[in-house]
């Protein structure tokens, strides 16, 4: 048996003992996870610095703080989320108990990404634990140091049979994908997303795919350009542009392009000083392969700001490209780097047309003081999420579902959505064996009279409210008794 097979088999066996199901156990594991972040902040930050040159504050701000919030939310709410959820009934089932019971799915596979390794690997894990599942955690091998830290730390705090960490690259992931899971949660790019979904097809395993795309950013010429550019610059250059919801490119009127460039330049200077290379708050490209990829994207566009780079350090300066054409290299794929192309566009309608020609993105940004423009954008385009007048921050609202649509993904999570995504919502109808007389109307031999009554009981086109329903039930019980006595027996 391969190492991967063993880990999955052990997790399934552990799940079958039933120990991940009781609420107290889930809470205990989540508390342990919480403790890990409190106690091991330094180790986590050190690894992040080595992988992505993220500062200690940066790691907390963009990785662990969000997780702490999610764990707190889960601790507070898991009992409520896991409780039976009552649903409305029809006349025929008025005296029965009808509800939806959330249940664990079984063994979940979580495949993490390298750009916010803690956030995107652990947040699904929180949902998996809260929902009572076992989970095999496969951190991205690209963030080498962080993967090692996850592998060594997680087993010290949470049940290592139920939640094993399996590290490795492509062959190990492929071996994992040959095993049977009850759900696969993948964060990464669309190309690999397709491979994952195909592998899942074998076992009919449902998947959640958190993918990416080119998130457009429309800047209306009548907005406060200074504030808009500040927010966009922050959204873009955080983590060196390696964010699935980073504003990928800007669409704006040609008349404001120069102003936008100037304001973005100013924000870059405010954030990262005149020499971002020496600034501790500015990140690096994850590896040489991505460095080369991003550098090649710049080739056929005009650089307005930045452009300097250092391959040995995987450093690319915060860069703005001007007058970019739709056919340019930088517009052919998700940039995932610190290049901000500006495409001059003459109207909102043109911008919407342009956006709709591409794949549905994970996020869409629109900067404008005009509600009409926001509504038009919202109604005439589709995207995972839409954020007006800022970047990225919708991610932090745990009551909003976070996920893509079309090429940017399927499924969603955060907060209660993580719990529901990794649960089975089982429909339950609890009846008694009495009142069998009422059932007679549905049994053969069939008569037109019986049909009339059956239709009446099943058709539920009237909403009477509780009191109304109780009154109607009382009347019906009497009527039913009379009918049964006289006509059906």
Partner 1 sequence: MVNENEEQILKALHQDLAKPKFEAILSELVILTNELHYAISNLRSWMQPEYVSKSLATRFDDCFVQREPLGVVLIIAPWNYPLQLLLLPLVGAIAAGNCAVIKPSEISLATENLMAELIPRYLSQDCYAVVRGGPEETKALLENRFDHIFYTGSQSVARSILQAASVHLTPVTLELGGKCPGFIYGHVNIVAAARRLVWAKFFNAGQSCVAPDYLLCTRATQDTLVPALRQALEDFYGTNPQTCPDLSRIVSPRHWTRLMNLLGRSKGKVVVGGESNEEDKYIAPTVLVDVTEDDALMEEEIFGPILPIITVESLEKGIEFINCREKPLALYVFSDESSVINMVLEKTSSGGFVSNDGIIHMSLPGLPFGGVGGSGWGSYHGRWGFETFSHRKACMLRGWALERLNGLRYPPYRDDKLGWLRWTCVIDSN
351: three-class secondary structure by DSSP: helix
- 8 A C-beta contact, residue 311 and residue 294: no
Nearer to partner 1, 3 or 259 (CB): 259
CB of 99 to partner 1, least distance (A): 9
CB of 61 to partner 1, least distance (A): 6
CB of 328 to partner 1, least distance (A): 25
Beta strand spans in 196-307 (E) = 207-210, 216-219, 249-252, 302-305
Burial of 402 (0-12, 13-18, 19+ CB in 10 A): buried
Angle ∠(266,289,265) on CA atoms, nearest 5: 5
Nearer to partner 1, 301 or 368 (CB): 368
Give the whole-angstrom CA distance, residue 197 versus residue 64: 29
Nearer to partner 1, 290 or 450 (CB): 450
Q: For residue 22, which phi and psi values (nearest 5 degrees)?
A: -60, 140
- 8 A C-beta contact, residue 187 and residue 120: yes
Give the whole-angstrom CA distance, residue 5 versus residue 273: 50
Contacts of 76 (CB under 8 A, 6+ apart): none
| Concatenated DSSP letters of 146-186 | HHHHHHHHHHHHS-TTTS-B----HHHHHHHHHS--SEEEE
DSSP 8-state secondary structure symbol assigned to residue 413: B
- 8 A C-beta contact, residue 430 and residue 84: no
Handedness of CA 139, 141, 146, 152 (dihedral sign): positive
CB of 368 to partner 1, least distance (A): 10
Give the whole-angstrom CA distance, residue 71 versus residue 55: 23
Nearer to partner 1, 117 or 193 (CB): 193
Nearer to partner 1, 326 or 369 (CB): 369
CB of 91 to partner 1, least distance (A): 10
Tracing tokens 């995972």 back to the chain, one arrives at 384
Q: Supply 11's token pair.
A: 């997790």
CB of 101 to partner 1, least distance (A): 7
**For the chain, how far is it from start to end, CA to CA, in angstroms?**
64
| Catalytic residue list contains 244 | yes
Give the whole-angstrom CA distance, residue 282 versus residue 397: 25
74: three-class secondary structure by DSSP: helix
247: three-class secondary structure by DSSP: coil
Nearer to partner 1, 43 or 98 (CB): 98
- 8 A C-beta contact, residue 260 and residue 404: no
CB of 253 to partner 1, least distance (A): 19
CB atoms within 10 A of CB 309: 18
Nearer to partner 1, 15 or 330 (CB): 15
Nearer to partner 1, 433 or 467 (CB): 433
Q: Which of 223, 244, 314, 391 is catalytic?
A: 244
CB of 18 to partner 1, least distance (A): 8
Q: Which of 4, 63, 70, 210 is catalytic?
A: 210
Residues serving a catalytic function are 210, 244
């Amino acid at each position: 048996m391969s190492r991967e097979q063993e880990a999955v088999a052990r997790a399934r066996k552990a799940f079958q003992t039933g120990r991940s199901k009781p609420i107290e156990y889930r809470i205990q594991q989540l508390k342990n996870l919480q403790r890990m972040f409190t106690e091991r902040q330094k180790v986590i930050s050190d690894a992040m610095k080595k992988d992505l040159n993220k500062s200690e504050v940066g790691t907390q701000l963009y990785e662990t703080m969000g997780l702490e919030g999610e764990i707190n939310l889960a601790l507070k709410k898991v009992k409520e989320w896991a409780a039976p959820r009552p649903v409305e009934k029809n006349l025929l089932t008025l005296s029965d108990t009808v509800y939806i019971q959330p249940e664990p799915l079984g063994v979940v596979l979580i495949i993490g990404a390298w750009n916010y390794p803690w956030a995107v690997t652990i947040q699904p894990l929180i949902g998996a634990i809260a929902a009572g599942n076992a989970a095999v955690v496969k951190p991205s091998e690209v963030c080498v140091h962080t993967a090692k830290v996850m592998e060594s730390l997680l087993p010290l705090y949470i049940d290592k049979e139920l939640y094993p960490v399996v590290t490795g690259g492509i062959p190990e992931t492929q071996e994992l994908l040959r095993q049977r899971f009850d759900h696969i949660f993948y964060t990464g790019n669309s190309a690999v997303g397709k491979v994952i979904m195909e592998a899942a097809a074998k076992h009919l395993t449902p998947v959640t795919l958190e993918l990416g795309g080119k998130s457009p950013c429309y800047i209306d010429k009548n907005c406060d350009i200074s504030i808009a550019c500040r927010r966009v610059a922050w959204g873009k250059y955080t983590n060196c542009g390696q964010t699935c919801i980073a504003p990928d490119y800007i669409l704006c009127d040609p008349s404001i392009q120069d102003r936008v460039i100037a304001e973005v330049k100013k924000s870059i200077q405010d954030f990262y000083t005149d020499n971002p290379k020496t600034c501790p708050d500015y990140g690096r490209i994850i590896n040489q392969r991505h460095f080369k990829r991003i550098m090649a994207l710049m080739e056929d566009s005009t650089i307005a700001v930045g452009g300097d780079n250092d391959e040995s350090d995987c450093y690319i300066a915060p860069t703005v490209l001007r007058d970019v054409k739709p056919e340019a290299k930088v517009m052919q794929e998700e940039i995932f780097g610190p290049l901000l192309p500006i495409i001059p566009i003459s109207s909102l309608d043109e911008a919407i047309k342009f956006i709709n020609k591409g794949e549905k993105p994970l996020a869409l940004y629109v900067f404008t003081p005009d509600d009409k423009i926001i509504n038009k954008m919202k109604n005439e385009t589709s995207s995972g999420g839409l954020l007006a007048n800022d970047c990225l921050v919708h991610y932090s609202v745990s009551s909003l579902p976070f996920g893509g649509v079309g090429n940017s993904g399927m499924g969603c999570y955060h907060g209660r959505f993580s719990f529901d995504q990794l649960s089975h919502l089982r429909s339950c109808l609890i009846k008694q064996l009495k009142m069998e007389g009422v059932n007679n109307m549905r049994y053969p031999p069939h008569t037109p009279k019986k049909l009339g009554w059956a239709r009446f009981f099943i058709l539920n086109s009237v909403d009477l409210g509780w009191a109304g329903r109780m009154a109607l039930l009382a009347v019906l019980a009497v009527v039913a008794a009379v009918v049964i006595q006289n006509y059906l027996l």
